[in-house]
């Protein structure tokens, strides 16, 4: 498997939807596989909230040998989102205009800003068409926004556990997490570790929205009736907070959750339905039946309003995280979609 990391530099001023601007930016992106002679085998992945550009570290099974997008046949690209902390310009980056780290001064980003940055990278790579754009959660929002903004670029779109606009329910979860960060006494500091304990609590909150009652019962149930404290579920929450703190920062978490909140494909486009109707890509929408954060009704809405879209529902006890866990079910759905066959497999 041929894999390489790259940096794309954009050196002109980059105006943002919310009114701010960046004096320039960079995107770190990872490629897996090789571009064919006709440049027709491009698969572009948009990662989830705290993901990075290396899909082999978090979605490897979906792109393993024998998968619908086997890297022996496909050229897979994933760029760390603008605003991220894995090599792309974000709050911890140095502002070229001031020579100082952005920290709290990093401007507001939207998914439209992100996909415009992605599209500049696409143009730099001289890729005229993308066979498939795939994204889950925040990445699914970005994939959808891109398919609307540049409908002639994409032949196929696979939109997993995402929505047309972020719900009041989802925004409330994100605001509660940002309140936890803001309650951290260090949050006002201009330091890379500012708000880190608050972010640990935020991540613990998020895990409840990512999983389900049944999922926690499967993985965190006690093996004895005698415990009074030190429960497995409590340790798991602390572990998840620390695990994220070891690789992420509160500034990026704040920026990307705000980005997710602002997602609304209908903004400036007359209506959400009209915007979805602009998608030209042959589209597969994938729902997870137990998803609390992006419930299946949101994917059904997408499939109803995107022309000729196909809707598949994956059964999983793991809620929203099912799209990162149920690799085999997802592969079966995508394979059936690409083969133009109805998926009759029971998951």
The CATH number of the domain where 136 resides is what? 3.40.50.1820
16 and 120 fall within a common domain: yes
Residue ending a domain, choose from 260, 279, 304: 260
Active site residue 291: yes
The residue from 53, 67, 137, 333 that is catalytic is: 137
Tell me the CA distances in angstroms from 305 to 52, 87, 279, 342, one per residue in order: 30, 36, 9, 19
Task: Write out the two tokens for 291.
Answer: 């998803």
Query: Both 19 and 95 in a single domain?
Result: yes
Contacts of 33 (CB under 8 A, 6+ apart): 1, 2, 41, 71, 72, 73, 74, 75, 76
Are residue 94 and residue 133 in the same domain, yes or no?
yes
Are 285 and 164 spatial neighbours (Cβ–Cβ below 8 Å)? Answer: no
How many structural domains compose the chain?
Answer: 2
The tokens describing 73, both together, are: 């046949």
Q: Are residues 159 and 191 in the same domain?
A: no
In tens digits, the chain (347 residues) has pLDDT values of 799 999 999 999 999 999 999 999 999 999 999 999 999 999 999 999 999 999 999 998 889 888 999 999 999 999 999 999 999 999 999 998 899 999 999 999 999 999 999 999 999 999 999 999 999 999 999 999 999 999 999 999 999 999 999 999 999 999 999 999 999 999 999 999 999 999 999 999 999 999 999 999 999 999 999 999 999 999 999 999 999 999 999 999 999 999 999 999 999 999 999 999 999 999 999 999 999 999 999 999 999 999 999 999 999 999 999 999 999 999 999 999 999 744 433 32
Decide which of 239, 260, 281 is a domain's last residue.
260
State pLDDT tens for residues 123-173. 999 999 999 999 999 999 999 999 999 999 999 999 999 999 999 999 999
pLDDT at position 345: 34
Give the CATH number for residue 237.
1.10.1740.110
Active site annotation includes 235: no
Domain that includes residue 12, residue range: 3-166+264-338
List 320, 321, 329, 333, catalytic entry: 320
Same domain, 77 and 223: no
Q: Is 6 a catalytic residue?
A: no
Is residue 163 within 8 Å of 141, Cβ to Cβ?
yes
Residue 347 lies in a domain: no
Instruction: List beta partners, residue 101.
Output: 94
Would you say the C-alpha torsion 62, 68, 74, 76 has a positive or negative sign? negative
Distance CA 260, CA 266 (A): 14
What pLDDT score was predicted for residue 1? 77
Of 260, 283, 302, the residue at which a domain comes to its end is 260
- 344 located within any domain: no
Q: Which of 113, 184, 291, 321 is catalytic?
A: 291
C-alpha separations of 247 from 105, 295, 332 in Å: 21, 28, 32
Q: What does the H/E/C string look like for the chain?
A: CCEEEEEEEECCCEECCCCCEECCEEEEEEEECCCCCCCCCEEEEECCCCCCCCHHHCCHHHHCCCCCCCCCCCEEEEECCCCCCCCCCCCCCEECCCCEECHHHCCCCCHHHHHHHHHHHHHHCCCCCEEEEEEECHHHHHHHHHHHHCCCCEEEEEEECCCCECCHHHHHHHHHHHHHHHHCCCCCCCCCCCCHHHHHHHHHHHHHHHCCHHHHHHHHCCCCCCCCCCCHHHHHHHHHHHHHHCCCCHHHHHHHHHHHHCCECCCCCCCHHHHHCCCCCEEEEEEECCCCCCCHHHHHHHHHHCCCCEEEEECCCCHHHHHHHCHHHHHHHHHHHHCCCCCCCCC
Q: Are residues 211 and 162 in the same domain?
A: no
């Amino acid at each position: 498997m041929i894999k390489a990391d790259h940096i794309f530099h954009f050196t002109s001023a980059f105006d943002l939807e919310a009114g701010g601007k960046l004096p320039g930016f960079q995107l770190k992106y990872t490629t897996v596989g090789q571009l064919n002679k006709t440049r027709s085998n491009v698969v572009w992945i948009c990662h989830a909230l705290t993901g990075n550009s290396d899909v082999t570290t978090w979605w490897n099974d979906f792109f393993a040998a024998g998968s619908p997008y086997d890297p022996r046949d496909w050229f897979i690209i994933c760029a760390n989102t603008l605003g991220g902390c894995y090599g792309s310009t974000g709050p911890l980056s140095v502002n070229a205009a001031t020579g100082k780290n952005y920290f709290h001064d990093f401007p507001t980003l939207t998914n439209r800003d992100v996909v415009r940055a992605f599209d500049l990278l696409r143009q730099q790579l001289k890729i005229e068409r993308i066979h498939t754009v795939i994204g889950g959660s925040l990445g699914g929002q970005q994939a959808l926004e891109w398919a609307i903004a540049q409908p002639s670029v994409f032949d196929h779109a696979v939109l997993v556990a995402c929505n047309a606009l972020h719900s009041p329910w989802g925004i409330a979860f994100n605001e509660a997490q940002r309140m936890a960060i803001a309650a951290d006494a260090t949050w006002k500091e201009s330091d890379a570790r500012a708000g880190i304990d608050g972010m640990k609590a935020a991540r613990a909150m998020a895990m409840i929205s990512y999983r389900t009652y049944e999922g926690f019962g499967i993985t965190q149930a006690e093996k004895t009736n005698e415990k009074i404290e030190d429960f497995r579920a409590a340790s798991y929450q602390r572990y998840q907070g620390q695990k994220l703190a070891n690789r992420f920062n509160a500034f990026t978490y704040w920026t990307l959750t705000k980005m997710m909140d602002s997602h609304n494909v209908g903004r400036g486009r007359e209506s959400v339905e009209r915007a979805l109707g602009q998608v030209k890509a042959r589209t597969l929408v994938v729902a997870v039946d137990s998803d609390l954060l992006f419930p299946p009704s949101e994917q059904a809405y997408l499939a109803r309003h995107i022309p000729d879209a196909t809707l598949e529902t994956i059964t999983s006890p793991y809620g929203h995280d099912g799209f990162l866990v149920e690799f085999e079910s997802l592969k079966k759905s995508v394979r059936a979609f690409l083969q133009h066959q109805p998926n009759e497999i029971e998951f």
